[in-house]
Amino acid sequence: MFLSPIVTSILEVLLVSVPTLITVAFVTISERKTMASMQRRLGPNIVGNYGILQAFADALKLLLKEYISPTQANIILFFLGPIITLNFSLLGYVIIPFGPGLAIWDFNLGILYILAVSSLSTYGILLAGWSANSKYAFLGSLRSTAQLISYELILSSAILLVILLTGSLNLTVNIEAQRAIWFIIPLLPLFIIFLIGSIAETNRAPFDLAEAESELVSGFMTEHASVIFVFFFLAEYASIILICILISILFLGGYLFDISFLFILIKYFYPYYLVWDMENIILDYIFDPIVQGMLYVLSIGIKTFIMIFFFIWARASFPRIRFDLLMSICWTIFLPIVIGFIILIPCILYSFEIIPCNIFLL
């Protein structure tokens, strides 16, 4: 049956946004269970089997709570801030390639688009903190804005070096350029800097100075409650998942996978007399388009959740640092290192005459 372009577009958006929001729910559960295990606690274990439905119970509780707004707040901007933050957190998923051709929008300037979208979410935080007419919320929003603007420079500079190796701003081209070798190997120092900058960019501990409970109650969302607090909560975890997907695309090969790795797993887990049969089954089905699409999505999903686990591990392991130290690390340590690589890597590419043809023609 023929569907109109509008209906098709709506279905495509729902096909990406609904699984994203469900993933956010399960990421919150996995974070609480993982941190509980690291701190020798049980974590959520009542609602559902092993507490697997705890996030949905929390969401229902927040949706049913009475909404209270400050009397002196700018009500329009007070509501608009969380909506802007959530919308721009979800807009980045539009250009994510989950496989060859498996993207809503295969945009040739995808990297610029995702940097612009992530930067615009800062306005929602700033509006929410200022409109609440609270000194704690205002200080939290100022901290968050300064932190995001500072670490945006680190992330964009690191991405520039990936572009120098691929010669394209298209995310699919960046993934396909890693068929020979993942960029994490030649750009390991940049990968570490990008990972640390990503934690700061998403306001996660130990860089959650915008939400420092001991100093600012709850930062820019101090006065928000009920449904609009859920918007901030969803936006934070949606941004974490998006930045982890971006890390896997830029440095870990994205949806690429090696079939020989499957054979290694088979030889490790299956008895020797079943190995030949399993290898034949895989060779029979591996070239099926549906199976390949599932393997692509599984590959990028596994890499993304490894990065999410690192975010959780960092939160559970490191203490919060001071705000002035956070800014000092950015401007006096990370930025000079990244600028040094910006000078070094083009020199190496030019010396070996391996500059991508797209950049050379420009």
Is residue 38 within 8 A of residue 309, CB to CB? The reply is: no
* pLDDT of 100 strictly over 50: yes
Cβ atoms of 20 and 238 within 8 Å: the answer is: yes
pTM: 0.88
Whether residue 177 sits in one domain with residue 160: yes
> What DSSP designation does 288 have?
S
Of 95-109, 149-163, 201-215, 279-293, the poorest mean pLDDT is in: 279-293
Which segment of 239-243, 293-297, 343-347 scores lowest on mean pLDDT?
A: 293-297
Q: Examine the fold and report which residue of 12, 39, 64 is the final residue of a domain before the chain moves on.
A: 64
Q: What is the mean pLDDT of residues 246-258?
A: 87
Same-domain check for residues 112 and 221? yes
Omega cis (within 30) before 289: no
Q: Does residue 280 form part of some domain?
A: no
* Total structural domains within the chain: 2
343 and 330 housed in the same domain: yes
Indicate if 45 and 151 belong to the same structural domain.
no
Task: Answer yes or no: do 47 and 140 share one domain.
Answer: no
Task: Based on the fold, state whether residues 55 and 76 are members of the same structural domain.
Answer: no
Q: Is residue 139 in a domain? A: yes
The answer to whether residue 147 sits within a structural domain is yes
Domain span including residue 180: 66-256+288-361
pLDDT value at 68 more than 90: no
Residues 52 and 123 reside in one and the same domain: no
Tell whether 170 is covered by a domain: yes
In 3D, which of 349, 361, 299, 296 has the Cα closest to residue 160?
349
Whether residue 48 has pLDDT greater than 60? yes
Last residue of a domain, one of 49, 64, 79: 64
Q: How confident is the model at residue 241 (pLDDT cuts 50, 70, 90)?
A: very high
DSSP string for 43-87: -S-SSSGGGTTHHHHHHHHHHHSPP---TTS-HHHHHHHHHHHHH
In terms of domains, do 137 and 157 share one?
yes
Lowest pLDDT segment from 61-65, 79-83, 209-213, 315-319? 209-213
Same structural domain for residues 307 and 240?
yes
| 112 & 199 share domain | yes
Between these two residues, 41 and 225, which has the higher pLDDT value?
41
Does the residue 266 lie in any domain? no
Residue 276's pLDDT band (boundaries 50, 70, 90)? low
Torsion sign (Cα): 180, 181, 182, 187: negative
**310 and 331 share one domain:** yes
281, part of any domain:
no
> Which structure tokens are listed for 149?
């603007």
pLDDT attached to residue 361? 44
Which of 33-42, 121-130, 204-213, 268-277 has the largest mean confidence?
33-42
Q: Does residue 154 lie within any of the structural domains?
A: yes
List pLDDT tens digits, range 166-209.
888 889 989 988 888 889 988 899 999 999 888 888 878 788 77
Q: What is the mean pLDDT of the chain?
A: 81
- If one counts every other C-beta atom within 10 angstroms of the C-beta of residue 280, the result is 10
Domain boundary among 9, 37, 64: 64
271 lies in a domain? no
Please check the confidence at residue 349 and state whether its pLDDT lies above 80: yes
CA distances from 230 to 24, 60, 147, 150, 238 (A): 12, 10, 23, 27, 12
User: Could you tell me if 213 and 231 lie in one domain?
Assistant: yes
